[in-house]
Structure 1
Amino acid sequence: MTTSLPTLDQTQLSRAISLLDEEWLQHDPDLGPVMPLVLGRGVGQDWHKAGTFRHHLIGVARTLTLWQQPKHVRQLGLLHSVYGNAHVDLMKFDPKSERGRLQEAVGEDAERLIHLFCVMSRIEFLGELFKGNLKNDGSLIITLQGAPFELSARDVAAFIVVSMADICEQWYSWQDDIYMGYPDYKAQPAQQHWAAALWPGPMRPTTYRWGQISRLGHFLQHPALKNQLPQPPVFDHGRQVMAPGDEAAAAALYWSVMQQSQPLMSSAATAAVLEQAIKLNPWVAEPYMVLSQLHMTERNFDLGRQYAEAGVQTAACWGNSWDKRIGWDGWMSWGRVLLQSAQKRQWPETLNKLNNVALTPEH
């Protein structure tokens, strides 16, 4: 493979490692004081896609923190659905009577963004962006309570960044099936499509939503939006857009390896499939890590190190996993084990010893 691989940015890695500790949020000066109020509403008991509502809110906030977003955007991420919305029947705060309480907790500016993000149509917001209706000044016209409403460039930028984090935290193949074509989708009868309805399904990576994240990131390159917020460090900081066909093909190739559809006696064939998946979609971490392990199993530690480094760097830029069978913290931990093992040029030679691998302290 001749494509250059991502290399490790120690600053980005350190930022990611600091968020692996489950206690990071309570020590965060902007978000920590708000958490008791949110947890008091039972968010840890509510189902949400690939976990609980608590997992989702924290996961979105974690990505926004990793992307170095300002306080009001991170607070929006942590509380982005607490007034409920068209997709989630989880109203944790009554928008008719409790807006004042949330304003006391996060301030009027952040609360205004939270309320607007909940009551507006996110389908329409994404649809208008994808139709190319962003104005020269960065504003966007949507419909709110039956009337045209103009979102300012500042609000558009905040909603784009939070939408990127929101998608990457929760989306996988179960939602691909029930929302196929989102935001332009048609609701299908559950009884007729009962197999697609069974949660959580096979948990394949999404076949089209990461491409939409790349398009959202690219909107932040718009002259009126470019300096509104820090550019998320994904898709070459918003300069690259992934083609839908490439994303779908890469996901299929990766999943064929995970389902052991390749010749099990030929690691070379599997490596070639993973290389092609990476060529089509170099923006996600997990294929790099799987290929790293494959190379180290074959005692090719130099390539194993390169792919482990690429995987850890890419994961450190996201804050949430693409292959949601395992959470981001698990993939980050595994990637660091791979990288350290490759640097030491050591990898188990028997299957049972794989259970013993661990990250060892650096001296």
Structure 2
Amino acid sequence: MSHAPPLFAPLDEALLQRALPLLDEEWLQRDADLAPVLPVVLARGVGQDWHKAGTFRHHLVGVARSLSLWQQPREVRLLGLLHSVYGNAFVDLVKFDAASERQRLQQLVGEPAEHLVHRFCTVNRAQFVQRLLAGEAADDGTLQVELNGPAPRTSVRLSAHEVAAFAVVSMADTIEQWFSWQDEVYSRFPATDLARRQAVHWAASLWPGPMRPTARMVSQVAALGRALRHPALAGQLPMPPVFGGCSLELSPRDEAAATALYWSVVQLDQPLVDLDGATATLEQAVRLNPWVGEPQMVLAQLYLSAGRNADAARAAAGALQQFCAWGNSWDKRVQWDAWVAWTRILLQSASEGTWPERLDKLNNLALR
């Protein structure tokens, strides 16, 4: 194991400036494209429905936030905000009846956006992911997939624009919601074993479980991003600013190892007498998976505790870069805005060379 600190990505100031307004809970109400739709969605009770690490409202807004940060066009951001309102193969949350309310949604968001929403809700999304990752997109970027429903299922050919939009929204959808509970109940997604019985696997089904970050889905998001580099897909939409503009990969093996290393430090499974073991463990986690912010953020705090201010500043800036690139947290124990706020405190402290020597003073830190 190398003794040198890992390389941390520099902070993109333009990306930071795009992210900061999204820390405000009211950001969506100021979005001219999304704000008119929000009251209609809220009126359907999305704030009362359970969804993974929060409510359905939290999920829809979180997906739309990433898409806004990624500078996606209006219809794709609307797809993010409405991506499950007709229901889909994964959830039974039907907020609009596709048989009777499509025209109402068309009047609200326009026919192109509603078409994307309806198609996204009715195609077999697991099959979409499987076929896209298998390289089955045609030379013109189109992709044949089945619709949901009992066999024999109807197939449709998605246009290149639909394929790109569904890939980008799937990336945002996955990072917003996925943590270890889904790793268990959707094991090996998209090739999930649907025969597993809840009574047999009761321990895996206990929500929310230990709340570990996912050990396998960030690498799948990276693969979806690389699929957007298909010659017929690359120019369809702005490329999300993750994984070096979707140009770099993360192997499943490295992701799993990095998550395990990070979690061992968070759960205090390292020697507690000094910082060396925990620091080396987190440094290796960052080397294996440099694409999420939380390991770099915790490492920055360890560097500050050791008086390594320059290293702490680089690690905090790297963490902030990843948080701003995603617009959602990887470690779901804390919300994205809270991770960002704490990381900015760490960066400020490292830059100023100040870090509390007393435990109680950690409770008083404020951004200046």
- TM-score category, normalised to shorter length: over 0.9
1:6 to 5, 9, 14: 9
Q: TM-score, normalised by structure 2?
A: 0.97
Deviation at 1:156, TM superposition (A): 0.2
Given the alignment, which residue of 178, 182, 189 partners 2:185? Answer: 178
Give the match for residue 70 of structure 1.
73
Tell whether 2:129 aligns with 1:110.
no
1:43 aligns with 2:43: no
3-state SS of 1:287 partner: helix
Q: How many pairs are equivalent? A: 360
- 1:120-150 C-alpha deviation (Å, 9 max, x unpaired): 1101101111222111111101123622211
Aligned-pair distance for 1:306? Answer: 0.7
Is 1:57 paired with 2:60? yes
Asked whether 1:18 is paired with 2:25, we answer no
Is 2:297 the partner of 1:289?
Answer: yes
The one-letter code matched in structure 2 to 1:139 is T
Please give the TM-score of this superposition, normalised by the length of structure 1. 0.98
AA partner of residue 260 (structure 2) = A
The whole-number CA distance in structure 1 between the counterparts of 2:6 and 2:259 is 19
Deviation, 1:3, is 4.3
Q: Secondary structure at the match of 1:149?
A: strand
- The aligned residue for residue 167 of structure 1 is 174
Pairing 1:158–2:178 present: no
Could you tell me the percent identity over the aligned residues? 56
Note the C-alpha offset of 1:4: 2.8
Give the conservation status (yes or no) of the 8 Å contact 2:5–2:311: no
Q: Deviating runs (4+, > 2 A) in structure 1? A: 1-4
* Aligned counterparts, 1:177-326, within 5 A: 177-187=184-194, 188-326=196-334
Query: For residue 86 of structure 1, what is the aligned residue in structure 2?
Result: 89
Query: CA separation in 2, counterparts of 1:132 and 1:11?
Result: 33
Letter in 2 for 1:94: D
Secondary structure at the aligned position of 1:90 is classed as coil
Match for 1:209: what amino acid?
M
Which amino acid in structure 2 is aligned with residue 278 of structure 1? V
> How many angstroms apart in 2 are the aligned matches of 1:36 and 1:353?
42
Among residues 316, 337, 340, which one is paired with 1:329 in the alignment?
Answer: 337
1:129 corresponds to 2:137: no
Deviation at 1:347, TM superposition (A): 0.6
Instruction: Please point out which of 137, 141, 149 is paired with 1:138.
Output: 141
Q: Does structure 1 residue 346 correspond to structure 2 residue 349?
A: no
Measured in 2, the distance between the counterparts of 1:271 and 1:241 equals 25
Quick one: which amino acid aligns to residue 350 of structure 2?
A
- What is the distance in 2 between the residues matched to 1:320 and 1:2? 26
Tell me how far apart the structure 2 counterparts of residues 223 and 242 of structure 1 sit (CA, whole Å): 21
2: CA distance, partners of 1:345 / 1:126: 47
Q: Counterparts of 2:155 and 2:20 in 1: how far apart (Å)?
A: 44
Gaps of 5+ in 1: none
Which of 359, 363, 367 pairs up with 1:359?
367
Task: Kindly provide the amino acid, as one letter, of the partner of residue 136 in structure 1.
Answer: D
Q: Deviations over 1:138-165 (max 9, x none)?
A: 1101123622211010100000000000
